[in-house]
Structure 1
Amino acid sequence: MRATLPTTTLAILASSLLAAGAPVSYKPEACSVIASGSAECRQAPADFLRIPTGNHAFNNASTEILQDAFSALAVLQNEYYQIGRSTWPSAIDWTAAVTQTVVSGMLSTLTRSLDLVDPGATSSFQGAHENLVSSVYDQIIGYYYGQDIVAIKDEAFDDILWVVLGWIEAMNFARLHDSLHFPKAEHNPNATLPTDIHVALATLPWRGRFWIPSFQSRSQSFWLLGAEGWDTELCHGGMVWNPRLEPYKNAITNELYISASISMYRHFADDSTVDGDPVYLQAAIEGYKWLVNSNMTNDAGLFVDGFHIGGLADGNIECNVRDEMVYTYNQGVLLTGQRGLWEVTGSPSYLADGHDLIQAVINATGWDLEANQPIDAVGVPSELPRWRGLGRGGILEDECDASGTCSQDSQTFKGIYFHHLNEFCRPLDGNSFKEHKSFNVNSFDSVKAAHRSACQAYLGWIKHNALAALETRDARGRYGMWWGAGLVGNSIAVSPQGDGIDHDAANTTDYRNHGTPQDDIWGRVSRWLPGPQKGGLDKQVVARHLESTDTDMDMNMMESVTKSPAGRQMPRSTDPNDRGRGRTVETQVGGLALLRAYWDVSQSVST
């Protein structure tokens, strides 16, 4: 039995989500900021961080970090973006969508922060601000046309949903930039050009807002395509990852569905020209309810990769075979969904879940939040600190980092994590609740203070990672994949056998680096491979072409050999970040997202 996917129309999708019984409606918690305002709620402060916070007061970023983040952006666009092709050609479809998301987010940071570079800026300097920001925004607009939407529509559901998040991020920037620097009485992105020049000067919004309907339309169409992965026949709900393999319900596809859905709802709710569509909210709440009840977290509080349905041919419909592989990005994307659900419902449980997840990740990197320092001794060149589950020495790490064996997919993961951590730790302003008749000011103030305090406590860890990543830059300003290389004195004498990780742990399949096995669990007809393979739809390759070994099929696993122009082999680099795929558009995005998160979170908790 296979999952039956719903049709793509919004009306049918809505009915399919609600048909199983009573609609999934949100009931405010006792201490929701839009609850009744009971005495218990007023007296119960939120508690997202149960440790002293006295060690976290001196980790704020200086404007030098903003400069470093901008430099990372400049290198990304100068080295990897091609104006003639309107894309980052060395990226693959989904990593290009992530790149666009991170660049759009950085534009929001720049439009909020450029005045801090020169507080006494003149009007001409303000014009230079606009020129800088708009130059990068024009490249985002170019990517709107350069994005291979035809190919992505035939890919897996997670690939499709990355597109949604990317264009929502672009819309968020356009609105923010317009509101900060081009305030008008009313904003209409569909406004026509007035015939009178004085009226035009007084009423037209920023030119970038005119692209919002196009970004909005693409987000809508790709959300509808992605939502076809929602299935209620297997495991009582949840998103299917890839319709061309055996059913697999993984963390990333479900997290993307939740975050994309609530982001779509919030976008339309904020748009004066379109009413917020409850189908998006319904999808986000239903998706979150399924995910948190799916048993997809391990004993360390981290999301494992997903669930297979063992015994499907015999009639089993339960998610009963859990893949224990842990990746960094599976801990990040949900943070945007949790933050969005808080904004809509006022329930602090979403924030509490998010902070629990962040703290689980920090602990799994070997960082002591209370002491604000690594758990293990670092700086011993001859040995790696202990692997703690998602890193070592307090530095976030995927299992492929230390050995230099990351695929193009995995090289994107840590940047995704910090992009969504940044979104989660934005300061709470309460604007979505203040007009509500039951808005509870005391409860909101308590939640706001606790959220700020917790995010401030994370700054030492974020700074530790940022400083480590800065050390991986080469002479051209390109970031490496393994931020923790300095922990071993930048030695390359690390292999999968010597990185301290059990790569053969039970029930783990590192398919993001090595591809899916060809078996009854994953599928015998097709196989998913990481990277830019063009063997068929969504990197699927027919079984008869898959008789090669993993090392044969993925050149990303091989160390590059540097040759002179004459073809003679040159000495290998001693830089551990030159191994494998080396420095790429994806590793540059990782450095940018991390530096941006350090700057933004620092600004958020210092105000």
Structure 2
Amino acid sequence: MARNELLAGLLGLVVVLSRAAELSSYCPVFYTEPPADCEPIPDTLFGPAVDNFGHREPDIGILEDTFDALAVLQGDYFDLHDGTWPSAIDWTGAVVETVVAGALRTLSSSLGRVDLGNLKDWKAKENLVSFLFSQVTRSYYGQDATAIRDQAYDDMQWVVLGWIEAIRFVSVHSTLHYPGNYDGNATGASRLELVSDELPWHGNNWISPFAHRALVFWHLASRGWDEKLCHGGMIWSPHVTPYKNAITNELWVTASISMYLYFPGVNSTAPSLGSDDFPERDPAFKAAAIQGYEWLMGINMTNSQGLFVDGYHVNSEVPGNVECDVRDEMVYTYNQGVILTGQRGLWAASGILLYLNEGHDLVRSVINATGWNLTSNSPVDGIIPGQLPPWRGIGRGGILEDECDASGECSQDAQTFKGIFFHHLTAFCEPLEPSGEVGVTVDTDGFRRVRGAHASACRSYVDWVQHNAEAALGTRDSHGRFGMWWGAGLFGNVTVSRSEDGIDHSAANTTDYRNHGTPDDDIWGGRWVPGSGAPSRTGNGGESLPYSDAGGELRSMVLGIRTAAGHRHRVVGDPNDRGRGRTVETQNGGLALLRAYWEMSQSN
């Protein structure tokens, strides 16, 4: 997509403001010209105030559990020689790298606040951070960038998000622990004298290659934007009949605005980009995000519960048809998460309240559809061990769930979904910061009100997150590995089949292609199987790899607090032993959930 075409997307701001009639009368929080004839921002925004969390001290134990989950993930599933999580496929590996980089950001910001077992000396703490970061940098080389170039447009964008997250970690760690001002001009002995105190953290050397890969894959993904069908939107894959799904378009919004906010600028000589300077805060990224968001929110992609359905086909039986008019009603958890980072980023780049408001609306819709009452802070249905609570749209008993969880039929794709949701919920609920735009004035009082309302709304979600985290912790086996179905133990380890899980799997216009593949019919235009065409070290039946004790040393290094004996041992007939069992994807999901609980409970 040409840069001029992307810049034209800035016109989408007009649509944003027209769609937000109820919010447009409030004074802007960020502005370039002094506002006139506007109303002060009220103290209460983003729906009814149900801040039940208050100002409780966060449980330090959850931070210990978070780092233990990270230790198991990296110690048991990461292969340093190959620089990969070998049982992952290309796109799930990119998601794992993203969550690990986010966890490193949490680790860096927490080291000065808590005593993590034996890590009392700053050298030991820095050694731990650098050790884990070295695995991230090794995965840069282990990532099969050549193969991903020829995959679907959503696959390409997971790569963008992963390396932008890694850049964010480096920036945060450097700012917190290495605020030196070495300018590179010292020579000889004077340079040596400066090394310990003034040189920036060594991880800064990786910002340029991380940024370069993110840029290359953003441009590769941009080819998926299509104006011929549905008046815009990203196509899922160039290899099947055009399908415009939620995830590819959510990724386009989130990747684009993340590039705008965090891309540091590079000079590129990549063949696909030519020789050119790509500056930071490039308006082309912002324009793409706005254009993509307006298309996504204007195409009617949500159901009666406020949840994103999977996507749209174009009815090929109508001659010359170019409209998105065949909607697939399938609901997946990750479709409710990725856009949250995009909404948060669009707010940061514009100060427009609508983005945050629509984000909070989505979060509340998700929580409600798990069967959780935000007012009473409890499940809407009683939980009776041995009985499955009613399905509420995207979960039951207050636990987030994909439709494959209870029956144990989740594919490698679906095993990744819930972790993606919680990673992006964490990003959405980070404390708001004033605009960093050049030439922008911040209304200090208005910003204070928005920041407070956002924090209050996010606090109201914490007990629900805690409910999920405690349930997920109960799925760990004796080696600390998380199960896929977080509600299994909470519901008494009841084992059910697909026909007994309380979900209408035969609902009209609903195709669970992420678990069972696309049907070979005229609508989908070809058979696609989840995980096909990507390397995997699982067995022929899709079972997980046998456990190895490689993580023991790393767990000891991370904590020095817990041992495997501290985990709940596997019960007989554990529902999470079915199907693919415990995998790198389910471990990543547990890590993302625990990090969300810690960050949301302590940052707000």
**Alpha-carbon offset, residue 179 of structure 1:** 0.5
After superposition, give the CA deviation of every residue in 1:535-566 in whole Å (9 maximum; x if it has no partner).
xx899xxxxxxxxxxxxx9944x99999xxxx
| Residue 487 (structure 1) shift | 3.2
Residue 524 of structure 2 is matched in structure 1 by: 522
1:79-228 to 2 correspondences below 5 Å: 79-118=76-115, 125-185=121-181, 194-195=187-188, 196-228=191-223
Q: Of residues 280, 298, 301 in structure 1, which corresponds to 2:303?
A: 298
Decide whether aligned partners of structure 1 residues 66 and 251 sit closer, same or farther in structure 2, where only a CA change above 3 A counts.
Answer: same
Q: Spell out, residue by residue over 1:145-173, the C-alpha distance to the aligned partner (whole angstroms, 9 max, x if none).
A: 00001111110000000000000000000
What amino acid sits opposite 1:235 in the alignment? C
Report 1:44-443 matches (<5 A). Answer: 44-53=42-51, 55-57=52-54, 61-118=58-115, 125-185=121-181, 194-195=187-188, 196-268=191-263, 274-311=279-316, 314-378=319-383, 380-432=384-436, 436-443=439-446
Residue matched to 1:41:
39
Native 8 Å contact 2:164 2:263 kept in 1: no
Q: Which residue of 2 aligns with 1:550?
A: none
Aligned counterparts of 1:263 and 1:437: Cα–Cα separation in 2? 19
Structure 1 452/117 Cα, relative in aligned 2: closer, same or farther at 3 Å?
Answer: same
Q: 1:355 deviation in Å?
A: 0.3
- Report the Cα distance in structure 2 between the residues aligned to 1:201 and 1:158, rounded to whole angstroms: 43
The 2-side partners of 1:582 and 1:231 are apart by: 39
Q: Structure 2 vs 1, CA of residues 437 and 583 (structure 1 numbering), >3 Å: closer, same or farther?
A: closer
Give CA-to-partner distance per residue, 1:96-116, whole Å, 9 cap, x none.
000000000000000001222
Separation in 2, partners of 1:201, 1:110: 22
* Pairing of 1:486-497 with structure 2 (within 5 A): 486-492=489-495, 494-497=496-499
Measured against aligned partners, the alpha-carbon deviations of 1:387-432 in whole angstroms (never above 9, x if no partner) come to 0000000000000000000000000000000000000000012152
2:230–2:323 CA contact under 8 A, matched in 1: yes
242 and 270 in structure 1: CA distance in 2 versus 1, 3 angstrom threshold: closer
Task: Classify the secondary structure of the residue corresponding to 1:241.
Answer: coil
Q: Deviations over 1:68-89 (max 9, x none)?
A: 0000000001110011111100
User: Is the Cα–Cα contact under 8 Å of residues 516 and 530 in structure 2 kept in the other structure?
Assistant: yes
Instruction: Tell me, yes or no, if structure 1 residue 498 matches structure 2 residue 495.
Output: no
| Deviation at residue 604 of structure 1 after TM alignment | 1.3
CA contact (8 A) 2:41 2:450 kept: no
1:14-33 equivalences under 5 Å are 14-18=3-7, 23-25=11-13, 29=24, 30-33=26-29
Structure 1 stretch displaced more, 410-419 or 313-322: 313-322
1:546 aligned partner: none
Secondary structure in 2 matching 1:598: helix
**Structure 1 residues 15 and 39 mapped into 2: Cα distance closer, same or farther (>3 Å)?**
closer
The Cα RMSD (Å) is: 2.8
CA contact (8 A) 1:481 1:582 kept: yes
Q: How many positions carry a matched residue from both structures?
A: 558
Displacement of 1:468 in angstroms is 0.2
Tell me if the contact between 2:387 and 2:492 (Cα under 8 Å) persists in the aligned partners.
Answer: no
Contact 2:394 2:401 in 1 (8 A): yes
CA-to-aligned-CA distance 1:477-517 (integer Å, 9 cap, x gap): 0000000002321122x111111000000000000000001
Q: CA separation in 1, counterparts of 2:186 and 2:451?
A: 42
Shift of 1:277: 1.1
* Contact 2:256/2:289 (8 A) holds in 1: yes
**SS state of the match for residue 225, structure 2?**
coil
- CA separation in 2, counterparts of 1:215 and 1:193? 27
CA distance 1:194–1:221, shift in 2 (3 Å):
farther
TM-superposed CA distance for 1:203, in Å, is: 3.7
Partner AA of 1:220 in structure 2: L
- In the other structure, the counterpart of 2:599 is 600
Paired with 2:216 and 2:38, the residues of 1 have a C-alpha distance of 44
> Which of 511, 514, 521 lines up with 1:512 in the alignment?
514
Return the offset for 1:48.
Answer: 1.1
Cα deviation for residue 381 of structure 1 reads: 2.3
SS in 2 for 1:285: helix
Once the two structures are TM-superposed, the CA of residue 34 in structure 1 deviates from its matched residue by 1.5
- Within 5 Å, give how 1:541-580 maps onto structure 2: 555-556=541-542, 573-580=572-579
Name the TM-score, length of structure 1 as normaliser.
Answer: 0.87
Deviations 1:196-242 (A, max 9, x none): 31244454210001100000000000000011100111100000001
Q: Is the 8 A contact 1:41 1:443 kept in 2?
A: no
Q: Distance in 2 between matches of 1:249 and 1:501?
A: 25
**Shift of the alpha carbon at 1:52?**
3.5
Distance (whole Å) between structure 2 residues aligned to residue 152 and residue 192 of structure 1 = 41
List alignment gaps of at least 5 residues for structure 1.
Answer: 1-5, 7-12, 540-552, 563-570
For residue 473 of structure 1, what is the aligned residue in structure 2? 476
2:398–2:467: 8 Å Cα contact kept in structure 1? yes
What CA distance in whole angstroms lies between the structure 1 residues aligned with 2:264 and 2:448? Answer: 24
Task: State the AA in 2 paired with 1:459.
Answer: V
Q: CA deviation at 1:118?
A: 2.5
2:46 maps to a residue whose letter is F
Contact 1:403/1:496, CA 8 A, preserved across alignment:
yes
- Does the 8 Å contact 2:544/2:583 carry over to 1? no
State which drifts further: 147-156 or 481-490.
481-490
In structure 2, the CA distance between the partners of 1:411 and 1:192, relative to structure 1 (3 Å rule), is farther
Segments of 5+ residues of structure 2 without an aligned counterpart are 18-23, 268-277, 548-569
One-letter identity of the residue aligned with 2:514:
R
Contact 1:257/1:287, CA 8 A, preserved across alignment: yes
* Aligned-partner Cα distance in 1 for 2:50–2:279: 45
Distance 1:226 1:396 in 2: 30
Q: Structure 2: which amino acid aligns with 1:399?
A: E
Q: Displacement of 1:314 after TM fit? A: 1.5
- CA gap of 1:429–1:271, structure 2 versus 1, over 3 A, is farther
Q: Match of 2:310, as an amino acid?
A: D
Q: More displaced, 178-187 or 162-171?
A: 178-187
Q: Give aligned-pair identity as a percent.
A: 54
Greater relative contact order (Cα < 8 A, sep 6+): 2
Moved over 6 A (4+): 119-122, 269-273, 558-562
Residue pair 1:336, 1:424 contacting (<8 A) in 2 also: yes
Give the 3-state SS of the residue equivalent to 1:485 in structure 2: coil
Q: CA deviation at 1:440?
A: 1.1
Please state whether the residue corresponding to 2:461 is helix, strand or coil.
Answer: helix
Q: CA deviation at 1:474?
A: 0.1
Contact 2:181 2:199 in 1 (8 A): no
Q: C-alpha distance in 2, partners of 1:538/1:32?
A: 49
Contact 1:466–1:595 at 8 Å: present in 2 too?
yes
Q: Which position in structure 2 is the counterpart of 1:547? A: none
TM-score, scaled to structure 2: 0.87
Residues 468/270 of structure 1: CA separation in 2 closer, same or farther (3 Å cut) = farther
Q: Confirm or deny: 8 A CA contact 2:405 2:484 kept in the other structure.
A: yes
Aligned residue identity for 2:99:
V
Residues 85 and 146, structure 1, Cα contact 8 Å, conserved in 2: yes
Deviation at 1:18, TM superposition (A): 5.0
Relative to structure 1, the CA distance from residue 192 to residue 482 in structure 2 (aligned partners, 3 Å threshold; closer, same or farther) is farther
**In structure 2, C-alpha distance between the alignment counterparts of 1:125 and 1:344, rounded to whole Å:** 39
